[in-house]
Amino acid sequence: MKIISVVGARPNFMKIAPFIHAIDNHNSQQVYPSKPQLSVETTNNKHINHLLVHTGQHYDDKMSKAFFRALNIPDADINLGIGSGTHAEQVGNTMIALEKVFEGEKPDWVIVVGDVNATLAASVTAKKLHIKVCHIEAGLRSGDIKMPEEINRLVTDRLSDLLLTPDTISVDNLLKEGTPKERIKFVGNIMIDTLETNREKASTLSIEKIIQDNLLINKPFKGNAGLVKAYALMTLHRPSNVDKKEVFGPIINFLIDEVAADMPILWPIHPRAKKQLGKFRLWDKVVNTENLILLNPLGYHEMLRLNMDATIMLTDSGGLQEECTILGTPCLTLRWNTERPVTLREYGGASILVGNNVERIRKEYHETLKLDKKPVRPELWDGHTAGRCVEEIVNS
């Protein structure tokens, strides 16, 4: 059996790493013919010949190569080098390049993960060539069609032959949309496999060293004097938060005037947010705030380590919402909706939706500071999802 997995952007890498390791594990358990007269077709038909394609949507070393290294992902067999651009440019260029790869390689399955532009491009291209598509992390729905990721999720799921879901809410979403039941398999959250595999290594890292090694701008801050005790950890990158000055500006003011007055804010900054701070002339203000510590995009273990001890997380990332659930870090999700409701407090998770309205963020910030860490483990977020994914593909 030949399969091609396609990845493009940072959040894909944490999902594909355990999948590739599970394929290796699967292949090592196959019984190969010991006698030459046995037909390879009949005895060895479950061996997986796997190719990894990187579309190149994320290309900075810190956004891509660092994750391949840290998570032991083998170098991609093919890198399409697509790079940045408008959505149409990214998707269109990726489809043109992928069509050649799929036509040449003729895989039995194309595996896509998550909801980035690479996910959409690969599923559409494969399906038009009548290649079976498997979507890992199927069925998530924010209900917000203005999110590019929601469009990617809807199209990918509609086209997929095998839909592997992280939770039962996703199963219900797919059933409501009319997806045939037999195509849907509840396997759990594959990203938690990566968290569990790497938790121990992350726990050995020094928070102070992570900060010192990754400072974007070398400036003194209170934590330099000794151990960093309480700190807020923040990430922001969604166009809905960083692409408009009237939204991003008040958030920045709130962070500087109120959160940074309480504790250091560690902010590994996404290239998009960095670019927008410059464009909106907010850069100097941010840089000159002593307790707002700008960091380069962090490696997987470094981010996990900071999350483990963070007093509070402020984020618009879906993956971090999920990691906060497992680690129990109280989390403010700076979005009005989420495709991952199991991470919310009303479902037992650690996170609350605060949108991007400063009044609401302020109120929930103060309430959230009163909460302790409370780790929660949703059903099948057990670190063994990748093996179940491989099993479902082999048996489909």
Distance in Å, CB of 117 to ligand UD1, minimum: 4
Query: Of the ranges 40-48, 52-60, 97-105, 189-197, which one interacts with ligand UD1 (CB under 6 A)?
Result: 52-60
Residue 268 binds ligand UD1, judged by CB under 6 A: no
Amino acid present at 50: H
Contacts of 4 (CB under 8 A, 6+ apart): 50, 51, 52, 53, 101, 102, 105, 107, 109, 110, 111
Tokens representing 273? 């947010």
**Positions in 103-142 near ligand UD1 (CB under 6 A):** 116-117
Contacts of 277 (CB under 8 A, 6+ apart): 248, 252, 269, 283, 286
DSSP 3-state helix, strand, coil percentages of the chain (rounded to 5)?
A: 50, 15, 35
Tokens representing 145? 């069609």
Residue 66 binds ligand UD1, judged by CB under 6 A: no
Residue 352 binds ligand UD1, judged by CB under 6 A: no
Question: Are 293 and 233 a contacting pair, CB within 8 Å?
Answer: no
DSSP line for 18-42: HHHHHHHHHHHTSPPPSSTTS-HHH
Residue 92 binds ligand UD1, judged by CB under 6 A: no
Strands annotated E in 242-373: 265-268, 292-295, 312-315, 331-333, 351-353
**Positions in 191-250 near ligand UD1 (CB under 6 A):** 237
Tokens representing 324? 């906060």
Cα distances from 372 to residues 271, 309, 312, 334, in angstroms, run 32, 11, 10, 20
CB nearer ligand UD1, residue 240 or residue 357: 240
Distance in Å, CB of 2 to ligand UD1, minimum: 26
Residue 271 binds ligand UD1, judged by CB under 6 A: yes
Among 84, 203, 206, 253, binds ligand UD1 (CB under 6 A): 84
Query: Of the ranges 38-46, 133-141, 270-278, 281-289, which one interacts with ligand UD1 (CB under 6 A)?
Result: 270-278
Residue with tokens 């699967």: 26
Residue 58 binds ligand UD1, judged by CB under 6 A: yes
Query: Of the ranges 220-228, 268-276, 287-295, 336-344, which one interacts with ligand UD1 (CB under 6 A)?
Result: 268-276
Measured between alpha carbons, how far is 170 from 340 in angstroms, rounded to an integer?
A: 9
Tokens representing 318? 């879906």
Residue 47 falls in the annotated catalytic set: no
Task: Give the bridge partners for 361, in sequence order.
Answer: none
Residue 336 binds ligand UD1, judged by CB under 6 A: no
Closest CA to 18 of 65, 62, 73, 70: 73
Distance in Å, CB of 137 to ligand UD1, minimum: 12
Residue 89 binds ligand UD1, judged by CB under 6 A: no
Measured between alpha carbons, how far is 349 from 99 in angstroms, rounded to an integer?
A: 41
Which is catalytic among the residues 26, 54, 237, 270? 237
Among 6, 7, 9, 331, binds ligand UD1 (CB under 6 A): 9
Residue 299 binds ligand UD1, judged by CB under 6 A: no
Among 59, 280, 336, 347, binds ligand UD1 (CB under 6 A): 59
**Positions in 146-185 near ligand UD1 (CB under 6 A):** 148-149
358-368 helix and 245-254 helix, angle to the nearest 10 degrees: 30
Distance in Å, CB of 360 to ligand UD1, minimum: 22
Residue 340 binds ligand UD1, judged by CB under 6 A: no
Distance in Å, CB of 33 to ligand UD1, minimum: 43
Tokens representing 125? 């291209």
Residue 11 binds ligand UD1, judged by CB under 6 A: yes
Strands annotated E in 240-330: 265-268, 292-295, 312-315
Residue 328 binds ligand UD1, judged by CB under 6 A: no
CB nearer ligand UD1, residue 149 or residue 393: 149
- Name the residues annotated as catalytic: 237
Binding site for ligand UD1 (CB under 6 A): 9-11, 57-60, 63, 84, 116-117, 148-149, 237, 270-272, 275
